[in-house]
Structure 1
């Protein structure tokens, strides 16, 4: 039986976060296998943790999760249907575990034959190249080797928006017991990232391999005013801190006893960038009236939620290293396989302009920003149609899931 090596697994960019997820993933895998009936499946880790990009939320009361635990349970074709029937039991076991509070665990059941027949997509190619077998047959992903290095179709995107798994399974719905893990991550930060990913795919520039990362960033933003502005963020921040301090020389994070001054300076720098911090400043949500399966049915604004307090607690860290806060929003860290795509999303955010209240308007602006900053790939068939398909799918998601009928983002068609 293959199992997690506690010394070799890297789920997150820093040691504390890696230790946190190492313990959580080990606990989740144990619960899943204990709740399974019959021959145990191979447990494959996908998503950000498999890429070593796990994020955490740091606060005075400790560390909390900010990344999903995405698991595929790979069983035989004969056991596939029975495995699907077992998912409610597995989910119930996870819910009962105190160690899983606040986590989001997405589960899918599949088989080697289904994996081998998977189409080329962002999700499936990333799984083929970076998926980790935590328990069971260590060679279970070999059947996906034909996907490695294959170009992503230009119409692919909306990775998380449409919850595209390796096949069209019904995953275990997300569940959460902590306000810091609610709509900000799922309905804003991931949406921004997915729009950036989609734009990179349409432009033919998505390549989640470390060897391609530097070239991807250079080719995407070289000579771009956006790239120059984003790279100037440290200077913009230092100037804002100096102005807030009345002209005194200061560096990011230097006035640690004046959190309000640092926060004001940080916001000024972001406004100079034309970036968006509205999710922290004014748009915070938590789930209310949850269905029995844990899927939220509506969202309400929370003026002083625990999540907001945690966000404010990040400011000394964010101001100590300019750009960390942006990476917290878009999920990217230096040296990780998808850093190029995150850089595209970051620059995309910077291109939007400050939006402090109207979520729908901000989303539409991001879409238009993606269209303006990521030209269509040369020779792409019907690129305009591909763009509008992507845009309207995002509009559908935003209208139905986020706005809930209170406001509608209008769809469009090629001009």
Structure 2
């Protein structure tokens, strides 16, 4: 007799780590697994990741979640998957990486951005895609690969986001994408919710190298024998394409009508708002993209380094907090958060600028960098930690104000998710 299906599994492969979650069929989380993985910085401003190492960490986190819950893998009905967006990897016909992935925060495409602006124009680009022209999107970086790594590009069979690559590792033979996953690729025809033929033609990108577009939230295969042995999930279990990580978070937070928005605070801070119809921002500040709800749109604002800045603080200056947290059996971030809570609002005039990887919404200043002002002898560690959090909050205020101008009214509700929501 087949086991009764009592549980669901979900995986979110983010930029700095992967979370594997097991829940019952009522949505109650009964256990999680987590593993960090690094980014690589081969040149100033470049950011890459080892996809095979990330796969190892995904499997480790999966086994951890299963071990913590004690769940029989045969009782898990299906696995859903989401991943970071705007990070892409070139693969061969065997769907094996030809090089490390180029991460969404990578800033290598400055000259390519200038070329696109000169040969297409920011207004035309925005009309096609619904997003402001920026070198942070995959589009300019793919042109960089075409121009600077022609032999690599010639070998490339497909250009995949993480979600497609890792689902294939789990056993999917359906190598496809969806409109809710590719906003940050910066090459979608927003009216058609499909790849833009005009943009592909402009940079000599054969559209066949991109995965075909389908709808989000669909089954794409079952767990293979090899993936079962590596991850611990049951062979033959259905695996499902979710959507972009932030689109999944928004739907999960109940953002399904205009007037509602959700902010995820993780590596980046991302705000997603549902819109009832496709809108335009004449000032080119916010992003219009595909929603996690099929055939619908959403509006986004991005702050790329909110969580990274706090991790930088932890790893660069937080050795004392790490040691104290270990002795107390606490998470280091919880201890840093407690310190920050003890500092006064405004940090006595100390202001932190969290633009470590550029400023995104609403100014799209790729070359902007972080900094601080107002530091004096009255400031201490607690105020410095708090200023990092406040800097992220101030940056997100710019996003909220831009979005409310586009929809013409204040939001009814803004909901929080992600690790930063615990603070």
Q: Same fold (TM over 0.5)?
A: no
Going by fraction, where is helix more abundant, 1 or 2? 1
TM-score by length of 2: 0.29
TM-score by length of 1: 0.30
Q: Which structure exhibits the higher relative contact order, with contacts defined as CA atoms closer than 8 Å and separated by 6 or more residues?
A: 1
Going by fraction, where is strand more abundant, 1 or 2? 2
